[in-house]
Structure 1
Amino acid sequence: MKNISTLMTTEVISVRESDGVEEVGKKMLTSGHHSLPVIDASGRVTGIITERDLIDAHRQVHLPTVISILDSVIPISGMHEYSEELRKVTAVDARGLATKRHLQLARPEESLDTVADRMFEHQLHALPVVDAEGKLLGMISRSDILRGLLSPS
């Protein structure tokens, strides 16, 4: 069974937590990638920024629908979505914009099938590949997965 260490891209374009949102957008556009890992000063992956995150950062915030009962304001739905939208539009740097909740990471020794299943389950285009300390080693993309599945063993 193939593992992803031979398929991953090792020359990764990443952003630092302190990089501004505009700088992140320019880096994403010039790189042609759909997502960029966010790393801290020691090189550990702390989040990921996708094209969707950057688009959301420039959209208008939609207030959630609420009802009022006995002087209480109760959201009908969407409070989590509202707080995520608010977080993104107020972000000034990669740290504030990055998706950190339920961050999916891969390890180089993981099998191709395991990583492919996780990517499709979570509808991801790419995963950062990290070592035991969480330091960025590479990225594995859907294209890398496809190349691994189509190449002879």
Structure 2
Amino acid sequence: MKTAQDIMNREVVTVLADDPVDKVGDVLLSSGHHSLPVVNSEDHLVGMIGERDLIDAHRKVHLPTMLTILDGLIPLGGMHEYEEELRKVTAVTAGQLASSHVITAAPDEDTDAVAEKLLRKDVHAVPVVDNSGLLLGIISRSDILQHLLKP
């Protein structure tokens, strides 16, 4: 059975955590990918930025509805969603915009397990990292499909 390192793309298009958000948009559009890994200067994975993140970064923030009780403000609805929206629209760098909770794969992970992650977590790509978080490659849905359809 093949592993993640057998089918991963080793030539990964990345952005640095310190890159400005505008540059991230340019790289994402020119690469043709749906998401990009964000790395630090030592190529350790910091997070992922997808098309949705960039769209969110350019939207208007919707203030939550507040209820006043005994001189206190109680948000109606999701305060977490508001905080996340606010984080994205105020992001200046890739590191600030990136989602830090990234679904990753180990190099020796079975390709079926990687395919399961891609489908169940509804992500377009899974970075392959070693134990220290060093980015080794990336596996997209297309990579899995090629692996499944090749004789």
CA-atom RMSD in angstroms: 1.0
Aligned AA (1:148): H
Asked if residue 113 in structure 1 is aligned to residue 112 in structure 2, the reply is yes
For structure 1, the 5+ residue unaligned runs are none
1:100-120 Cα offsets, whole Å, 9 max, x none, are: 1x3211111111111111111
Aligned AA (1:84): E
Question: Distance in 2 between the 1:120 and 1:21 partners?
Answer: 28
TM-score, structure 1 length as denominator?
0.95
Aligned AA (2:116): D
1:66 offset after TM fit, Å?
A: 2.0
Aligned to 2:32: 32
Answer with 85-94 or 62-71: which moved more: 62-71
State the number of aligned residues: 151
Aligned AA (1:125): H
Asked if residue 83 in structure 1 is aligned to residue 83 in structure 2, the reply is yes
Aligned AA (1:139): I
1:151 offset after TM fit, Å?
A: 2.1
Aligned to 1:134: 133
Question: Distance in 2 between the 1:149 and 1:79 partners?
Answer: 42
Question: Distance in 2 between the 1:24 and 1:60 partners?
Answer: 19
SS in structure 2 opposite 1:147? helix
Aligned AA (1:103): V
1:22 offset after TM fit, Å?
A: 0.4
1:71 offset after TM fit, Å?
A: 1.5
Asked if residue 146 in structure 1 is aligned to residue 145 in structure 2, the reply is yes
TM-score, structure 2 length as denominator?
0.96
1:92 offset after TM fit, Å?
A: 0.5
The structure 1 segments of at least 4 consecutive aligned residues displaced by more than 2 Å after TM superposition are: none
Asked if residue 43 in structure 1 is aligned to residue 39 in structure 2, the reply is no
User: 1:58-97 alignment to 2 at 5 Å?
Assistant: 58-97=58-97
SS in structure 1 opposite 2:60? coil
1:129 offset after TM fit, Å?
A: 0.8
